[in-house]
Amino acid sequence: MHQFIENGTITTVNGFKAAGIHCGIKKRKKDLALIYSELPCSAAGTFTINKVKAAPLIISKKAISGKKPVKAVLVNSGNANACTGEEGHNDAKISQKHCAELLGIKPGEVLISSTGVIGKRLPMETFLSGIDKIIPHLSEEGGLDAAQAIMTTDKKMKSYALKVKLEGGTVKMGAIAKGSGMIMPNMATMLAFITTDAKISQVLLQKMLKKSVQNTFNKISVDGETSTNDMVVVLANGHSEIAVKSGSKNEAMFQEALDALCRKMARAIVSDGEGATKLVTINVNGAKSDKDANLVGKAVANSALVKTAIYGRDANWGRIMSAAGMSGASLDPTKMSISFDKVPILLAGYKIVLDEAAAFEVLSKEEFEININLEAGKKSSTWWTCDFTEEYIKINADYRT
């Protein structure tokens, strides 16, 4: 079983250094992060399915699909380097090469990632001198600085680590992530970087990451938007010399821990979604198929009317029914039931058992569950969403200007 480590981060994992600094892409806040392992790492990644992809994402995706070892990840915030054309692609390439030269490694061993405004060229002079500046800051205590440097509209830093006892000994995993708008990842996600000292092949690591992402980052929604820059990357440097092999008990245990770490980040991203005041778990049960369970979960998680009702602490279950009805899932509304935490709201046959006071109490909590049973089969799906507030509008009406 895994165990979370207090104040853990990517550098809690042996053999990883990191740094986070302000280089000048943003006005004041930290905007450049670097993760580094002297030992070559197996590197796996999942990437946005948006057809409009950022330049650094295209480059990193290609690097990972080559299945070759990786030693570093360079991330800037404040500029997405997306929709920047040939020039943007060159900018990304130049930064990758520059970073590799300073680290004394090959360009292909450096993954690159950007987040921020779309459609603006990176200020290259600032960026390159930032890379010069960040290298000496690399340290085994640098994880939290890196976590801060990748933030954009996030209010809370997302940094975690855990240890998991495998056959042969204990390995660690660390992670940092950023949200917090344009969030409805799909086969990919916002930015998250995971480190581990387990010894795993690239192919197995990729398979495990994909599985974890599917049930965590791909089940959250802040605003139904999927960014041009979303990526999750995991680096395994083998420092512990404890092997995780396909089909072994270790694989199952490592997967369970990786799932937990990704779930932690996914929930933190929703909870810190732009303007969000509540974290809501949506459990869809009794679906005819996995697809139906996901369609309903996604539709409810994305519904502006459900999300504003949550904000208003209004037990407006009719909006949940309406969202489910439009989800495309096969369902019979007369069989459906809804509860908030353990407070029943609607029973099958449109039997309304809503106790307004009890429902209001649940809806006043910072975290609660919406349970939807379709009574059409045995499949289920869990999604996470947040409420939709005036603050979201404010943040996004003012974002670029």
Interface with a copy of itself, residue 397, by CB under 8 A: yes
Interaction residues for a copy of itself, span 66-105 (CB under 8 A): 80, 82-86, 88
Using the rule CB under 8 A, give the single segment among 24-32, 129-137, 167-175, 223-231 that binds a copy of itself.
223-231
For a copy of itself, which residue of 325, 368, 375, 382 counts as binding (CB under 8 A)?
325
Copy the structure tokens of residue 99.
Answer: 């970073």
189 is catalytic: yes
For a copy of itself, which residue of 260, 321, 343, 362 counts as binding (CB under 8 A)?
321
What are the residues whose beta carbons fall under 8 Å from the beta carbon of 230, sequence distance 6 or more? 47, 48, 50, 57, 185, 188, 189, 190, 191
Measured CA to CA, the distance from residue 290 to residue 374 in angstroms comes to 12
For a copy of itself, which residue of 1, 49, 135, 353 counts as binding (CB under 8 A)?
49
Measured CA to CA, the distance from residue 388 to residue 278 in angstroms comes to 9
Strand partners, 16: 37
C-alpha distance across the termini of the chain, in Å = 47
Using the rule CB under 8 A, give the single segment among 21-29, 56-64, 260-268, 328-336 that binds a copy of itself.
328-336
From the CB of residue 361, how many other CB atoms can be counted at a distance below 10 Å?
15
Interface with a copy of itself, residue 352, by CB under 8 A: yes
Interface with a copy of itself, residue 223, by CB under 8 A: yes
- What does the buried/exposed string (b/e) look like for 228-237 if buried means 16 or more CB atoms within 10 Å of the residue's CB? bbbbbbbbbb
Copy the structure tokens of residue 17.
Answer: 């250094």
**Residue 7, CB-side half-sphere exposure with 13 Å CA sphere:** 4
Cβ proximity to a copy of itself: between 70 and 269 the closer is: 269
Using the rule CB under 8 A, give the single segment among 29-37, 47-55, 126-134, 192-200 that binds a copy of itself.
47-55
Measured CA to CA, the distance from residue 22 to residue 76 in angstroms comes to 10
Interface with a copy of itself, residue 401, by CB under 8 A: yes
Cβ proximity to a copy of itself: between 6 and 398 the closer is: 398
Active-site positions? 189
Q: Kindly list the residues in this chain that would bind a copy of itself in the complex (CB under 8 A).
A: 49-53, 80, 82-86, 88, 117-119, 181-182, 186, 223-228, 302-305, 308-309, 311-319, 321-326, 331, 333-334, 346, 349-352, 388-390, 392-394, 396-401
